[in-house]
Amino acid sequence: MNRINIETGVGIFLIIGFLCLAYLSVKLGHIGIFETKQYPVKAYFTSITGLKEGAEVEIAGVKVGKVSKISLENDRALVEMLLNPGVKLQEDSIASIRTKGIIGDKYIKISPGGADEVIKPNGLLTETESSIEIEELVSKYIFEKKENGKQTNE
């Protein structure tokens, strides 16, 4: 009788362990089983250098969604985002691509507007700021310094 109790206890322990492992795999793998229904919003950018699908969307530093799809449309990048259901964006909100830290991941920062009208699901954010490319800024700064140095020596 004692052997049956030990085997039953070990079986229950293993089942609980497998359930915990499955839960952690789903949560850490960002699989949407436990997520609430999000709604889509779109925005056009002239440059999204470094932005990837799955990147975070933030308002005031709080994650409110993620980038679901990136495509090219009429020579501009179309970024589709999925936002949490409680988030309401005004029509004049501004979406800008930012970098976490100096060379970190890219994400979309949304600055809320002041308009009365809100963007509906599948709506379009018309005010956008494209990605700033650090390499271009550094090279521009370096080459301007060299050109200014040459002009003063001549």
Question: What's the pTM value of the predicted model, to 2 decimals?
Answer: 0.65
Per-block mean pLDDT, blocks of 10 residues, the chain (154 long): 78 92 78 70 89 91 92 91 89 89 84 87 86 72 69 47
Predicted confidence (pLDDT) per residue in 23-55, tens digit: 888 777 666 555 568 889 999 999 888 889 999
Eight-state DSSP code of residue 47: -
Range of the domain at 70: 39-133
Domain identity same for 47 and 21: no
Is 139 within a domain? no
Burial (Cβ within 10 Å: 0-12, 13-18, ≥19) of residue 96? middle
Here the tokens at position 62 are 């709080």
Here the tokens at position 92 are 């004049």
Is 88 within a domain? yes
